[in-house]
């Protein structure tokens, strides 16, 4: 190319026309005056001759469009044709083509695909482990003692644990919260015993450590023939205090009151005493059969005690005028029983949670010291 | 094994069994502090 030609480099875009051209970058502002000769004619861009020092550069952005304004559908446009050489000792003076680095490189795409795969794989592993096998299946034998109120849950959970972890075995000695804790204490530090208790352990067994396990509700239950379905706290205190001896006195039917309770040491009994009776201890029993006072027993309303939740519920269903208490799940949908609300509130989790239903307890799992991790 | 079974009761299928009985795992209460051992008077 001769020095009289003003254009240094010509770039043509066959099949396209250049609709816009702009200088986007200058290493030195002085170059701008030399770039005044930048011209566009249809498909041709002419870059003027620009005197440049070493390391000087400029960038020009050209926007080509199809000649007729429609999109080409039969494949890509032909490559642009570049004509010209560079003077002044830049390499061998030839034009070197580089490609745009916009978009994602293959390596980046491969990395993204790999990471996406990891995310999917991790969630698959997570969801499988959540619903399927417990990750750490323990092996061995464990004796479960304590509350009969929580027994149905404990038995069912032990069964389902065993279904998955076939090397685990369970035995059950559930005779009430207090007895379970004493049995655990007696068994010593290395025994494989777990005791469930409704509420805190009594004083005097400092070696036992609790873990809160569940929030359990209790309910009062009556024999339906009492005609009573709701009792106020004050009525309950008078009933257990022996002041009310016939349901007629508080608007029920003419049936004598019979109080069917749990033996001392029962967590359910402790919950009733603490949360409904204001801390007053239930008087001792005066009847074995729950129907009549035994000869020589103190007078007053008939009181008897049973060893388990299930025994209480059966006795209440059998005995006219009976009032008892039990864990809610065990009492629900049982024939011959009516649930009694307290101060107008039936036993529900939201009411207990918000302090409007009083008869609940924390189910605690006790072990000797902190249980081993495995 | 005691620790493992307790964990199973509170965090895995055991929690479903507790709910089925009408009770609640402690963690699901609006006031979970109800569930902790209460300080002695």
DSSP codes of every residue in A305-351? EESSHHHHHHHHHHSTTEEEEEEHHHHTT-TT-EEEEETTB---HHH
Indicate if the pLDDT at residue A75 is higher than 90: no
Residue A204: pLDDT band by 50, 70, 90 thresholds? Answer: confident
Mean pLDDT along residues A125-129: 63
Angle A1-A66-A25 from CA coordinates, rounded to 5°: 55
Q: Comparing C-alpha atoms, which of A300, A245, A270, A294 is closest to residue A364? A: A270
Dump pLDDT digits (tens) for A101-123: 666 678 888 988 999 998 888 87
Question: A153 contacts in B (CB within 8 Å)?
Answer: 9, 14, 17-18, 21, 23
pLDDT surpasses 70 at A230: yes
pLDDT of residue A59: 85
Out of B4, B26, B38, the one facing A374 most closely (by C-beta) is: B4
Is the pLDDT at A371 greater than 70, yes or no? no
| Residues recorded for chain A | 374
Q: Is pLDDT of A96 > 60?
A: yes
Report ipTM for this prediction.
Answer: 0.87
- pLDDT exceeds 80 at position A56: yes
Nearest Cα of chain B lies from the Cα of A241 at a distance, in angstroms, of: 24
Where in chain A are all domains bearing CATH 3.40.190.10?
A: 140-215, 216-360
Identify the bridge partners of residue A47 per DSSP, sorted by sequence position: A9
pLDDT of residue A128: 58
pLDDT score, position A1: 44
What residues of A are in contact with residue B16 (Cβ under 8 Å)? none
Residue ranges of domains in chain B? 2-35
As a whole number, mean pLDDT of residues A341-351 equals 93
Please tell me the predicted confidence (pLDDT) of residue A302: 95
Chosen for mutation from A213, A363, A374 (greatest number of chain B CBs closer than 10 Å) is: A213
Q: Collect all residues with Cβ–Cβ distance below 8 Å to A249 and sequence separation of at least 6.
A: none
Give me A142's structure tokens: 């464990």
Which residue did the predictor score with more confidence, A320 or A297?
A320
Nearest to A168 by CA among A147, A203, A142, A135: A142
The pLDDT of residue A137 is above 50? yes
A-chain residues near B40 (CB < 8 A): 200, 203
Cβ distance of A353 and B30 shorter than 8 Å: yes
Q: What confidence tens digit (pLDDT) does each residue in B6-41 have?
A: 888 887 788 888 888 888 888 888 887 788 665 443
Judged against a pLDDT cut of 50, whether residue A223 lies above it is answered with: yes
Confidence of residue A17 (pLDDT cuts 50, 70, 90): confident
Minimal Cβ distance to B1: which of A168, A210, A328: A168
pLDDT-derived band at A139, boundaries 50, 70, 90: confident
- Nearest residue to A157 (alpha-carbon basis) of B5, B25, B3, B29: B5
pLDDT band of residue A12 (cuts 50, 70, 90) is confident
Q: How far is CA A314 from CA A252, A257, A337, in A?
A: 22, 17, 9
How many angstroms away from the CA of B29 is the closest CA of chain A? 6
For A61-70, the pLDDT digits (tens) are 888 888 776 7
Q: Which two tokens stand for residue A216?
A: 């359990």
Is the pLDDT at A185 greater than 50, yes or no? yes
Model pLDDT, residue A323: 97
Q: Inter-chain contact B23–A363, Cβ cutoff 8 Å? A: yes
DSSP letters for A217-228: EEEEEE-GGG--
* CATH number for region A140-215: 3.40.190.10
Asked if A268 and A326 touch (Cβ cutoff 8 Å), the reply is yes
pLDDT higher than 60, residue A255: yes
State residue A337's pLDDT score.
95
- Cβ neighbours of residue A41 closer than 8 Å, sequence gap 6 or more: none
Task: Give residue-wise pLDDT tens across range A234-251.
Answer: 999 999 999 999 999 999
Residue A34 has pLDDT above 90, yes or no: no
Instruction: Please say whether the structural domain A216-360 has been given the CATH code 3.40.190.10.
Output: yes
Q: Is the pLDDT score of A2 beyond 60?
A: no
- Tell me the pairing of strands A302-306 and A258-262: parallel
Give pLDDT, residue A324.
96
> pLDDT averaged over chain A?
86
CB pair distance less than 8 Å for B6 and A211? yes
A143 → chain B, closest CA residue: B2
- Strands, E, within A27-114: which ranges? 39-41, 44-48, 58-66, 81-83
Measured between beta carbons, the chain A residues lying within 8 angstroms of B8 are 134, 157, 161
Q: What percent of chain A has pLDDT over 90?
A: 42
pLDDT at position B41: 36
User: Smallest Cβ distance to B35: which of A153, A158, A362?
Assistant: A362
């Amino acid at each position: 190319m001769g020095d009289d030609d003003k254009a240094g480099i010509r770039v043509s875009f066959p099949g396209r026309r250049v609709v816009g051209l702009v200088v986007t970058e200058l290493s030195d502002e002085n170059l701008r005056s030399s770039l005044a000769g930048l011209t566009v004619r249809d498909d041709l861009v002419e870059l003027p001759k620009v005197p440049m020092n070493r390391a000087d550069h400029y960038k020009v952005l050209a926007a080509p469009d199809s000649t007729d304004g429609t999109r080409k559908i039969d494949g890509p446009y032909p490559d642009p044709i570049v004509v010209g050489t560079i003077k002044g000792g830049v390499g061998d003076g030839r034009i070197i083509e580089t490609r745009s680095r916009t978009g994602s490189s293959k390596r980046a795409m491969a990395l993204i695909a790999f990471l996406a795969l990891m995310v999917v794989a991790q969630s698959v592993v997570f969801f499988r482990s959540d619903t399927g096998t417990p990750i750490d299946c323990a092996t061995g034998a464990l004796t479960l003692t304590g509350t009969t109120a929580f027994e149905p849950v404990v038995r069912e959970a032990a069964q389902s644990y065993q279904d998955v972890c076939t090397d685990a075995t369970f035995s059950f000695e559930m005779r009430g919260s207090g007895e379970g804790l004493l049995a655990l204490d007696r068994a010593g530090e290395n025994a494989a015993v777990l005791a469930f208790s409704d509420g805190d352990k009594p004083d005097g067994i400092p070696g036992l450590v609790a873990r809160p396990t569940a929030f359990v509700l209790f309910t009062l239950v009556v024999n339906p023939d009492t005609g009573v379905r709701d009792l106020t706290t004050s009525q309950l205190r008078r009933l257990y205090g022996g002041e009310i001896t016939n349901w007629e006195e508080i608007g029920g039917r003419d049936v004598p009151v019979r109080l069917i309770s749990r033996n001392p040491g029962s967590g359910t009994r402790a919950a009733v005493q603490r949360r409904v009776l204001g801390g007053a201890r239930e008087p001792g029993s005066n009847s074995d059969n729950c129907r009549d006072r035994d000869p020589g027993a103190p007078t007053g309303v008939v009181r008897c005690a049973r060893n388990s939740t299930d025994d209480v519920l059966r006795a209440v269903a059998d005995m006219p005028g009976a009032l008892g208490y039990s864990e809610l799940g065990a009492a629900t949908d049982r024939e011959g029983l009516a649930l009694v609300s307290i101060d107008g509130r039936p036993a529900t989790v939201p009411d207990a949670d918000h302090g409007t239903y009083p008869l609940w307890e924390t189910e605690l799992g006790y072990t000797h010291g902190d249980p081993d991790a495995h | 094994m005691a620790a493992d079974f307790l964990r199973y009761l509170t965090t895995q299928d055991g929690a479903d069994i507790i709910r089925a009985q009408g009770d609640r795992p402690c963690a699901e209460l609006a006031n979970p502090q109800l569930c902790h051992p209460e300080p002695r008077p």
